[in-house]
Amino acid sequence: MSEEQTPPVRDDPDVVVVGGGVAGLFCAYHLRRAGAAVTVLERGALGGQQSCSSGNTGFVGTHGAAPLAEPGMRSWRSLAMLHPDAPFHVRPRADRELLRWLGHFGRACTPSAAAAGFRILAAMKRRSLEILLELCESDRIADTFAMPGIVLTYRSAQGFSAARAAVARTVANGIPLRVLEPGELDELEPKTRFTVRGALYNPEGAYLRVPEFVLEFARLLRALGVEIREYSELTGCTITAGKISRLSTTHGDLRPGAVVLTAGAWSTECARMAGVELPLQPIKGYSVTVDMPPSGPSRPVLLSEARVALVPLGDRLRIGGTLELTGMRNTISDRRVARMVRTVRDYLPDLEQTHTHETWSGLRPSTPDGVPVIGRAGPGNLIIAAGYGHIGMGLAPAGGELVGHLLAGETPVTDPVPVRPSRFGGRDRRPT
């Protein structure tokens, strides 16, 4: 739909959801199913390049619930992060919010904090997979979802041995994972040759094909009666008697009963309009989508030490990865993209070079402890659902459900305590 064709919206919906990425769409889904009149505001096009939900590798399923903040990050690795070629690169700058974020990040790098983060993320990923499977039963959305399992590969003996040692703990947390015996990787991926020390397999590895999933989901939401307003940007809030009484947008004002803020990496600036400080930093990543090489893998593969993911999308292969804490500028570094693609050949040396269709960058909305911020904050009718970081596709279904439960005053399936926005001790600011 073009900007000119955008239909007029109701100016008094029960709930306005700000942001049309995967976080916003899942909130809209659960709220609408609970009977609310919902309007979604998206400042660009749904599934457009600006959204982090549009060009990622789409891994969902039960694997990959570890927060980014992990024990060891505070030691020599934190210094290595300053190198521009580091898989997780931090560009130092004199920015009070970045320093505060790094302080919280450092405190989250303890075994107990990482274990607590893992528990809530694993529970949310499991619940999200259930919601996705339910969604796929009844709709064309199923065409944008697949669950062929995921292979986690390790190039270094140290990396593989640490991963193998953690398998029992992962399984004890209800996540299926096993070590692949010699020869099993070849059986699973007969076309692809790997130069790795070992590999693990999770049969619940699944993926969403994006941006197609976002577009199909939006179609379903519109059919359910959700009003989705593209090219419509939130520009300000009016607060009366402790509640948001009016939202100003580039297409007129709205007087919602409640507001759900799901603006991804831009949630910080939107929250400030309501006088709320959020501890989010954008962590940039890239994806490159190429013609499927003849020796490309048939299922998702993670190149673990390099933090690079491969996902087959029919006749294409998407390579995604890199973590860059370099501010809100969503520009592409050719150097880092080239390095990411070179890394793939370290693991899959025979992978043929093919035509590149798209190089994309996205800003992951990231909290210091890797756990999203979901819950009430500031004005009485505001709920935040942001900070999904590097696993937002795999968390947003459960996060949206939690928002629905909180707004309806129902007992939530997902524990709201570990994700509460106030856990960083943030203060409310007066709106300007």
Ligand X SMILES: Cc1cc2nc3c(=O)[nH]c(=O)nc-3n(C[C@H](O)[C@H](O)[C@H](O)COP(=O)(O)OP(=O)(O)OC[C@H]3O[C@@H](n4cnc5c(N)ncnc54)[C@H](O)[C@@H]3O)c2cc1C
Q: How many residues bind ligand X (CB under 6 A)?
A: 43
Q: Which of residues 233, 291, 346, 428 is near ligand X by CB under 6 A? A: 233
The one segment of 46-54, 88-96, 185-193, 289-297 that binds ligand X by CB under 6 A: 46-54
Q: Does 317 bind ligand X (CB under 6 A)?
A: no
| Cα separation, 47 vs 210, whole angstroms | 8
- Taking a C-beta distance cutoff of 8 angstroms, is the pair 299, 189 a contact? yes
* Residue 144 touches ligand X, criterion: CB under 6 A: no
Give the residue with the Cβ less far from ligand X, 110 or 173. Answer: 173
> In 3D, which of 285, 207, 262 has the Cα closest to residue 20?
262
Report the distance separating Cα 424 and Cα 426, nearest Å. 5
Of residues 10-39, those binding ligand X (CB under 6 A): 18-24
Strand 258-261 with 382-386, pairing = parallel
Interface with ligand X (CB under 6 A), residue from 117, 256, 296, 320: 320
| Angstrom distance (rounded) from CA 26 to CA 218 | 10
Find the shortest distance in angstroms from Cβ 229 to ligand X. Answer: 9
Instruction: Please give the biggest Cα pair distance in the chain.
Output: 67
Candidates 45-53, 140-148, 195-203, 416-424; binding stretch for ligand X (CB under 6 A): 45-53
Around Cβ 360, how many Cβ atoms within 10 Å? 20
Q: Whose Cβ is closer to ligand X: residue 362's or residue 410's?
A: 362
State which residue, 18 or 199, has the beta carbon closest to ligand X.
18
Beta carbons of 373 and 103 less than 8 angstroms apart: no
Applying the rule CB under 6 A, the residues between 55 and 84 that interact with ligand X are 56-59
Interacting span for ligand X (CB under 6 A) from 102-110, 324-332, 387-395, 417-425 = 387-395
Assess 285 for contact with ligand X (CB under 6 A).
yes
Answer yes or no whether residue 271 interacts with ligand X by CB under 6 A: no
CA dihedral 6, 12, 18, 22 (to 10 degrees): -80
How far apart, in whole angstroms, are the C-alpha atoms of residue 301 and residue 356?
19
Stretch that binds ligand X, among 116-124, 174-182, 285-293, 345-353 (CB under 6 A): 285-293
Q: Which residues contact 322 (CB under 8 A, 6 or more apart)?
A: 87, 89, 284, 285, 286, 307, 308, 336, 337, 339, 340
**Least distance in angstroms from the C-beta of 182 to ligand X:** 28
Q: Which of 273, 222, 231 is nearest to 50 (CA)?
A: 231
Residues that bind ligand X in the complex, under the rule CB under 6 A: 18-24, 41-44, 50-53, 56-59, 233-234, 262-266, 270, 285-287, 309, 320, 362, 364-365, 386, 388-394
